[in-house]
Amino acid sequence: MYGFGYEAEHICETRLEILQGAYDMMTSSGKNEFDTNTDELFANARARLAYMETWVTLNSGSPLSIANNTNTTIFALVVISVLGVSVTFAYFYLNKKKKYN
């Protein structure tokens, strides 16, 4: 339960694609050993791969919410910046106008 598939939080779908690509590149004897070997290393690797496949299947589309939050954050940052600059210029304009009157 360690290695490339272990720390895949927020990038599980990408890691799964890479792991499935590596599995597809294996020879038939390599695939057979991976699928049938009972050593702890192989059992953990199969369990992690199955977990990641299940998670991606059940949570498809969730990265869009992260992108949406990022877009909302950027929009809020721009609006707050524009308001801050506008208020600063208005303050200086009004103070300058008071000094001349």
Q: What is the pLDDT of residue 3?
A: 62
33-42, 60-69, 82-91: which range is least confident on average? 60-69
Confirm whether pTM is higher than 0.95.
Answer: no
Strands annotated E in the chain:
none
Average pLDDT on 2-26 reads 78
Count of positions (residues) in the chain: 101
* Stronger pLDDT, 68 or 60, i.e. the higher one: 60
Neighbours of 48 (CB within 10 A): 20
